[in-house]
Every structure is written in structure tokens, then in C-alpha cells.
Amino acid sequence: MATRFTYSRWDGTQKGFDLDAEALFDQMADNLLANGDVASALRRAMQQGLRDRDGNRMQGLREMLERLREARQERLDRGDLGGVFKEIADALDDVVDEERHAIDNALADAERRGDERRAENGRRTAEDRNFRLDMLPDDLAGKVRELSAYDFESADARRRFEELVEKLRQQMMQQMVDQMSSAVQDMSPEQMQRTKEMLAALNEMIRRRDDGEDPGFEQFMQEFGDFFPENPSSLDELLQNMAARMAAAQAMLASMTPEQRAQLQALNDQLMEDMDLQWQVDQLGRSLRQMFPGEGWGQPQEFTGESPMGFGEAMQTMQELGELDRLENLMRGASSPGQLAEVDLDRVRDMLGDDAARSLEALARLARMLEEEGLVKSKDGRLELTPKGMRRIGSNSLRDLFSRLAKDKAGRHAVARLGQGHERTHETKPYEWGDPFELDLERTLRNAIRREGGGTPVRLSPDDFEIERTEHLTRSATVLMLDLSNSMYWQGRFLPAKKMAVALQSLISSQFPRDFLGIVGFSHIAYEIGAHELAEVQCDQQQGTNLHHGLMLARRMLAGQTGNKQIIVVTDGEPTAHVLDGGRYYFDWPMSQETGEVTLREVLRCTRDDIRINTFMIDADDHLRDFVERLTAMNGGRAFFTDSNSLGDYVLLDFIEHKRQMSRRGRRAG
């Protein structure tokens, strides 16, 4: 049975968050890279919370759950359920005291009249009534039963007793049928009959729906809508409300001592003596338990307060505890932001405050906002990054890395003019995909005017773009080899390495579009990684650092490329695996002599193909240092000793310096 909730209308007074999808997405970027999964990053954002563009903090589910626990404990500390019985017992004692006072007054009046016979009758009557009052049972149900058959001396005492019984009957009924309207405020025989008719019609509606028939909800509401002032919009909503109230009543019973529970149950049986009414209520209760098993039926609550709670206060508290439990279960079970939209924000506002309600509403919109902005998309029921989202993560990673560089280094300010290594010739050409976007504005506008004619505004088309022609073009082909072994993950090195890879991919695609970048991941084996797959890459759960297989794949990827060729290796360990004939792999730790030899033979093949290998060692030990020194001496590339924090700086600076050298060589050749 689906749970349904309602939202309040915006009245202009509520303060919301100034949400920006891209700003929220940026806060999730590291989680996206670390987990490689949009859904996982969203769940983490839901748990931890985010900040809007103005820096206002949205509470996460973790904080809200803590607030829920505090709100729950505050209600448990309010009082003692024994007050339910004290309230009823005190009211009955007041009725008995008033009746005894009336008996004493009647006896005194009879004796004052001087008629001995009348006085004797008065004494016998007073004795009989006092005896019956003295013999009243201690339990509430028995006391109500005996007083119902008692011939009161005091008309006021009888009236107060009857009012008390009606009030208790109404409270018992309110446990069962979620109604607070005037429809149950006067339990006359006629109203009791109408209540039975309403319950019978409700049970019939449930039966018809279970049989696949139209339950006739609209007709039911026309006839019995006055029982339900909250005006439910559907049968599901009506039944949800009733189930919550009945479950709260059963939870209150379960929270009492056995003696208290027996007394209240007996009192209920005494007041609800109409067998047809009881049957209808029992039938409804069985149906609701089947439809809403998660309502906490009969779940006891441990009250720790000392102030006695009356019946009404106890029922209200039990309902609030039930709502808190349902909200907690929904929050704990929510695996996506969209599921949070089912929460009744008005109740959250009542129980946890405005900030929590606004935060929950914002979190519920999170996934939809990211989709509308084109940063993520849903495919086969799964959220994944779009190309725009991938570019956003790449540009953020690039920005973060360059922001750490000193201003006298090749920082972000220098990147925009690096890339193709050129001298201007003052000639232009139509723009082609992959060209540097050095737009010649005059020629571009002239093309648009020639195509559309005169007048404003001037509307541009991609076919109008004309760029400056460059004299010398330098091109490089790079394969990034990324270590995905277990040690990278467990030592906290994987996220910085992956962030560097994303930044490098972003740098090349945006600033050097004619360059080639391939990516190879390696652990026990190696495999090619597409640029669109990079954000979702995770460390492998296998032992082994198969540098041999990685170099083999990188060399083959570069075989069909032109320009300067290089392999960038990022690793934290010496080679411990290599590929055997037939495709199987061999692993041994520490590095075996055979693994070292076959790996260096592959290095020699790369060297013969004029491929330079630059190695970035993260927290290298002596074994890795020794091997990389041999590799570098054989290949002529360079080795960098770095840590996780500076890895990205080293790689990007080296790549940019490499492009600068290529640019200078190109100009000299011209």
C-alpha cells in the first residue's frame, strides 16, 4: 500500500533555499569521483547535507535523524501513562463523593422532619446506597459497570457520571476511527447507529477494492464526509490516517503494565458493548494491519516522565511518536532524493522546525534539478553522468589543481594560450571541430550578415564561425596509465589520482583538442578506459600491479597516432604481475625476477617506438624507486617522486611544460 502525503500551498512567507544545480553538483564532485556512481554520491549528499549558492546550509538526513531521536525522547519524557487511569479514577471518585454527600443530605433532611418512620426509611436507604458504593470494584471497568446500574440519589452525580461515560466512549471511538469532528461528540443511539453504518460502508469499500471493483470513495464521502474533517482526497489517505490512529492506540496499550492494559481493555469492552459495532471495528482493524504492516502495531514505548498524562494527552503523544517513527523509517529507507518527496512537510515543520522542512524539500528536488540542468540523466532506471556533467567535473578538477599552484608557475592564467604552439599568419579559415577557438569576429559577423542580409539582431550559426589560421601545429599523443590496485584505495591515493586524470582529460579536450589522450587502468591486468567512463572507474579488488600489460596496451594505442608520443604512469608500487602467453597473468610479491624482466622488455619496445615514459611515484618505497630508475635509464623519460597531495600539480605542470617545449621547437622549425 503506497503512502500518500500532502503539501501546504506556498503563501509567500516561507523562506526557501537559493538553489543552483551546478553549485550543488560541484559539492558532490569528489564523492562522484571517489564512488564512481551518481546514486551513491546523491545518497551521501542526502546524508551529509549541502549548501546553497548563498552559503546557507541544508541539513542532511543524518542531522535530521538525530533531531528525530531528540524529539522522540522529549515526548517519552513528558509523563507517565498511569495518568490515563488516574484521570478516570479521579473523575469516578468525584462522582462517588458527590453522591455520598447527597445521601448524607437526604438522610439529614429526613431526620429533621420528625417523622420516625420516614427517618427509618431514610436510614435504610442511605445504608443500602453507601453499602453499594463501599462495594464498588477497584477496577475501572467494574466500577463503571456497577455505577451504570446504581440508583443515584444525586441528579448532578448521575449527570456527571453519564457525561464521563460518554466522554470515555468518544475517546475509545477516536482510537479506532480517526475522527475529531462533531460527528462523534454526541453518542446518541441514532449517532451510534450512523457510526456503525459508516464502519460497515468502509469495510465494504475495502472489500470491493480488494476484489478489483470500484470502491465508491466519492459516494462514501458524500454520505459520511462529516466524520472526516481532514477531508481525505483518496481512500488510501483515509485508511492511512485511520491506521495511524488505531496503531497508536494499540501501541499505548502495549506500553502499559499488564494490570493497566487489562483495566483499559475491560473498560473498552464495557463501553463498547454493542456487538455489531465491535465486530465492524475488529474487521477494520484486521484490514488495516494487513495494508499497513509498518505502522508499529503494538510496538511498546518506554515512558520515563513522572507527570501523569490524561487519556487525550496520552493518545496525542502516541500518535506523535508513531509519526516520528514513520518519518524516521522513511528517511532511513530513502535511497534516492525522489523518495523524500513522499514526506509530509507540514508534519516535519511541526516536529522538527522550518529549517528541517526546507532542507528536506530541497534534498527531494536535488536529482530532478541535476537532470533538468543536464548534468545527470536516467538510463534504464539508473542515474549516470551526462557529457556536460563529465565536463563540469573535469573543469572543476582542473580549476582546483591550478588554484594551488604558485602564481609564478604555469598556472591557470597561462593555460588559455597554450595548446597548438603557433604563430599568427593573419589569415582565416572556416572553423572545424577540434580547431582552437580563436574566433575572427569581423569575418564571422560578415559571414552571418551575408547569409541573413542586413538588419539587427545578427544571428550567428556555427557555419559562420571563422578562425585565425596558425602557421605551425604541434600535436602530442598521450596515454595515461592509472594504477587501480588495492593499495591505491586503502592508502587514500586513488581519489587524488583519479581527480588528476579527470583534470588532465579536461585540459587536453578543452585546450588541446587535436591531441590524443588514451587512458589505461591496471591492477592484476590492464584495460582501456574511455573518457566517458573515467568518472565511474573504481579500484579493482584484485592483487597485483601489472605494469607490463599496461605498457603493452599503451604502446598499441599509440601505434596509430602521430606527433610526440608519451606514456604517463601513475603508481604506488613496483610491478608484481605480468601477462603470460595465452592471456593468463602471473602474480608474485615482492616483484619476481621474471616480472621485472618482461616489464623492462616492454619498456624497451616503447623506447624503440620513440615513446617516452614519465613515471609519477606516489609515496614510493625503495623497491619502486630502484625499478623506476632502471626504467628511466633505459627509456630516457623522467621520474617524479611525489605524494597524493601534490600528484596533480606535478602531472599537469609537466604536461604543460612538455607542450611549451613542443611549441618552441615548432616555432624554431618555422
pLDDT, tens digit, 9 for 90 and up, residues 49-69:
877 777 778 788 888 888 888
pLDDT(646) > 90: no
C-alpha cell of residue 394: 573535469
Q: Where is pLDDT greater, at 621 or 600?
A: 600
Helices (H), 179-297: 189-210, 217-224, 235-255, 258-271, 275-291
Rounded distance, CA 545 to CA 576, Å? 5
- What is the reported pLDDT for 150? 87
pLDDT(557) > 90: yes
Asked if residues 349 and 358 have their Cβ atoms less than 8 Å apart, the reply is no
Return the residue matching grid coordinates 474533517: 229
Asked if residues 544 and 523 have their Cβ atoms less than 8 Å apart, the reply is yes
Asked if residues 553 and 520 have their Cβ atoms less than 8 Å apart, the reply is yes
Rounded distance, CA 627 to CA 625, Å? 6
Partners of 376 in beta bridges? 385
Return the residue matching grid coordinates 625476477: 593
- What is the reported pLDDT for 597? 92
- What is the reported pLDDT for 76? 77
Partners of 519 in beta bridges? 480, 529
- What is the reported pLDDT for 540? 78
Using DSSP, state whether 570 is helix, strand or coil. strand
Give mean pLDDT, residues 88-94. 83
Give mean pLDDT, residues 474-482. 82
Give mean pLDDT, residues 609-617. 87
pLDDT(416) > 50: no
pLDDT tier at 378, thresholds 50, 70, 90: confident
C-alpha cell of residue 428: 582565416
DSSP 377: E
Provide the residue count of the chain. 670
User: At the top level of CATH, which class does the domain 476-669 belong to?
Assistant: alpha beta
Rounded distance, CA 172 to CA 157, Å? 22
Asked if residues 442 and 637 have their Cβ atoms less than 8 Å apart, the reply is no
Give mean pLDDT, residues 40-53. 78
Rounded distance, CA 100 to CA 98, Å? 5
Give mean pLDDT, residues 26-37. 74
Looking only at the bridges linking them, the beta strands covering 376-379 and 382-385 are antiparallel
Percent of the chain with pLDDT over 90: 7
List Cβ neighbours of 263 (8 Å cut-off, separation of 6 or more).
85, 139, 140, 141
Long-range CB pairs of 232-237 (<8 Å, 24+ gap) are 233/6, 234/4, 235/205, 235/209, 236/1, 236/2, 236/4, 237/4, 237/6
Rounded distance, CA 630 to CA 637, Å? 11
Percent of the chain with pLDDT over 70: 73
**Least confident span in 245-254, 452-461, 605-614:** 245-254
Rounded distance, CA 210 to CA 235, Å? 12
**What's the chain's average pLDDT?**
75
DSSP 639-657: EEEE-TTTHHHHHHHHHHH
Helices (H), 298-386: 311-333, 345-352, 354-372
Name the CA radius of gyration of the chain, rounded.
Answer: 40
pLDDT tier at 555, thresholds 50, 70, 90: very high
- What is the reported pLDDT for 556? 94
Q: Where is pLDDT greater, at 15 or 253?
A: 253
Rounded distance, CA 149 to CA 466, Å? 104
Total-model pTM: 0.53
Rounded distance, CA 33 to CA 21, Å? 18
Which among 570, 564, 562 has a CA at the least distance from the CA of 661? 564
- What is the reported pLDDT for 564? 84
Q: Where is pLDDT greater, at 13 or 94?
A: 94
pLDDT tier at 601, thresholds 50, 70, 90: very high
- What residue spans define the domains of the chain? 21-78+324-385, 82-302, 424-470, 476-669
Rounded distance, CA 165 to CA 146, Å? 12
Asked if residues 498 and 529 have their Cβ atoms less than 8 Å apart, the reply is no
- Chain segment 161-207, per-residue pLDDT in tens: 888 877 776 665 555 443 333 333 445 667 777 877 888 888 888 88
DSSP 460: P
Cα-based distances in Å from 565 to 64, 482, 518, 640: 54, 17, 11, 18
What b-and-e string marks burial along 449-460, b requiring 16 or more CB atoms within 10 Å of the CB? eeeeeeeeeeee
**Sign of the dihedral through C-alpha 246, 223, 190, 202:** negative
Cα-based angle 489, 493, 495 (whole degrees, multiple of 5): 85
Which among 15, 92, 405 has a CA at the least distance from the CA of 267? 92
Using DSSP, state whether 26 is helix, strand or coil. helix
List Cβ neighbours of 352 (8 Å cut-off, separation of 6 or more).
64, 67, 68, 71
